Amino acid sequence: MKLGARIFKTGVAISMALYLANLLGLPSPVFAGVAAIFAIQPSIYRSYLTLLDQIYGNLIGAAIAIVFVLTLGSNYLTIGIAAILAIVVMLKLKLENTVPLTLVTIIIIMDSHSTNFLTFASLRISTVMLGIISAFIVNMIFLPPKYETRLFTSIHSVSEEVIRWIRVSIRHASDHASVKEDIDKLTEKLIKVDQWYSFYKEERSYTKKQQYAKARKLVLYRQMIATSKKSLEVLKRLNRFENELMELPEHFHMMVQERLESLASYHEQLYMKYVGKLRPEHSEGSGTDAVMRRNEVMTIFVKEINLAHEENEGEFSVYHLMHVLSAILDYEEQLEHLDLLIIAYLNYHSEEVDTGLENAI
């Protein structure tokens, strides 16, 4: 089990909320700790949004609870009705993420046996507010997350796994079921990559220079993700049409294998270029020469397809092969676009590349 920063932040936020509640002499400080649990978020920006939403939810829940107690009294039935009304209101206001804390606020206020109800309610509201604010402070100052490192590491990890499977699959050395199982896992990992990208996108930049560099980085990382998805699409088609590829003429199969091997190496070199392990001008797979080579290769592919189809009519599946070739072509175009973006970024913002990313490769 891995203990991440969010786990430690949750513990610190609870301790801080309980300590401050006791320091201020608030009754039932445990409710401050409960509120802190709900308010911890993975990024500073989301923490800010949560702070506002939780405050709104807390105030709405408190208002509903006070109105119900003053008009209908406090019992099991009225607490349930108040909870239902609060949920409906929160959903209408698109504050569904704050529903749990709102319900907690309603219950702790309506569970009142004090003769001075309004004073009791205000103290409970203050206790919950203290927990929310404690969590926000901890999110701001304690172990702020570095989502760029996590994003790049996750993209590189997924790409490395896909490339490894492509190299094995094109040689027909892979087990079909194992590849299919790993494809499902890699698809899930790419969903996680999209989440890291969202977290990184939400991180704030405080100067114009940082904002400009961040905007270019977002374009670059989005292209990295798109390229990884295209490589996974190639792997899916290699796995799906495995039997058809095995029936290809030997020389034609070698051409496909060599092309994929070249693209896989190109993909690996792009990550090394981005972190500074290769010179920016090192671009074996991009530019006018690369386009000419791609056109030449595709022309040869078409000629070979026609020739093989004539010689092995009825046994050679052109339809299935074109599925694979189109995926390879899309993959190559995404790689070339990524290469151009990396070169452009390094030309203007090479000092902005996180030195810690080099350790990820």
pLDDT at 310: 64
Give yes or no for residue 178 having a pLDDT over 60. yes
Yes or no: say if 10 and 19 are a contact pair by the CB < 8 Å rule.
no
Residues contacting residue 359 through CB under 8 Å, at least 6 positions apart: none
User: Residue 174 and residue 120: Cα distance in Å, rounded?
Assistant: 68
What lies within 8 Å, CB to CB, of 227 at 6+ separation is 159, 267, 331, 334, 335, 337, 338
What are the tens digits of pLDDT across the range 218-230? Answer: 999 999 999 999 9
What CA–CA distance (Å, rounded) separates 144 from 9? 10
Angle, CA 266 vertex, CA 264 and CA 271 arms, to 5°: 100
Give the whole-angstrom CA distance, residue 234 versus residue 326. 9
pLDDT of residue 314 exceeding 60: no
Residues present in the chain in total: 361
Q: How far apart are CA 289 and CA 285, in angstroms?
A: 8
| Helix/strand/coil for 27 | coil
Torsion of CA 288, 292, 293, 298, to 10 degrees: 140
* pLDDT reading at 155 higher than 70: yes
Mean pLDDT of 58-76: 88
184 Cβ neighbours under 8 A, 6+ residues apart: none
Tell me if 156 sits within 8 A of 190, measured CB to CB: no
Which of 119-128, 238-247, 316-325 shows the lowest mean pLDDT across its residues?
Answer: 316-325
- When pLDDT is averaged across residues 131-144 and rounded to a whole number, the result is 80
User: Under 8 Å CB-to-CB from 80, ≥6 apart: which residues?
Assistant: none
Q: Give the burial string for 145-178 (b: 16+ CB within 10 Å, else e).
A: bebbbbbbbbbbebbbbbbebbbbbbeeebeeee
DSSP 142: S
| Pick from 90-94, 136-140, 177-181: least confident | 136-140
Residue 156 Cα distances to 34, 162, 170, 190, 351, angstroms: 38, 10, 21, 11, 21
Least confident of 173-177, 224-228, 270-274, 326-330: 173-177
Q: pLDDT at position 232, please?
A: 95
pLDDT in tens, 71-117: 888 888 998 999 999 999 999 988 888 888 889 889 888 887 667 88
pLDDT tens profile 18-48: 999 889 888 888 888 888 888 887 666 677 7
Higher pLDDT, 95 or 142: 95
Return the pLDDT at 321. Answer: 74
Give pLDDT, residue 337: 92
Average pLDDT over residues 150-168: 92
Q: Write down the mean pLDDT value for the chain.
A: 82
Tens-place pLDDT, residues 185-195: 999 999 999 98
Task: Locate 119 and state its tokens.
Answer: 């004073």
Instruction: Place 255 in a pLDDT band, splitting at 50, 70 and 90.
Output: confident
Task: Give the best-scoring range by mean pLDDT among 44-48, 159-163, 169-173, 340-344.
Answer: 159-163
What was the pLDDT predicted at 331? Answer: 93
- Among 245, 249, 244, 243, residue whose Cα is nearest residue 311: 249
Q: Which residue has the higher pLDDT, 202 or 228?
A: 228
Q: Which of 76-85, 243-252, 292-301 has the highest mean pLDDT?
A: 76-85
For residue 1, the model assigns a pLDDT of: 40
DSSP codes, 187-246: HHHHHHHHHHHHHHHHS---SHHHHHHHHHHHHHHHHHHHHHHHHHHHHHHHHHTHHHHH
SS3 279: coil
Distance CA 158, CA 90 (A): 39
What is the model's pLDDT at position 104? 87
Residue 340 identity: L
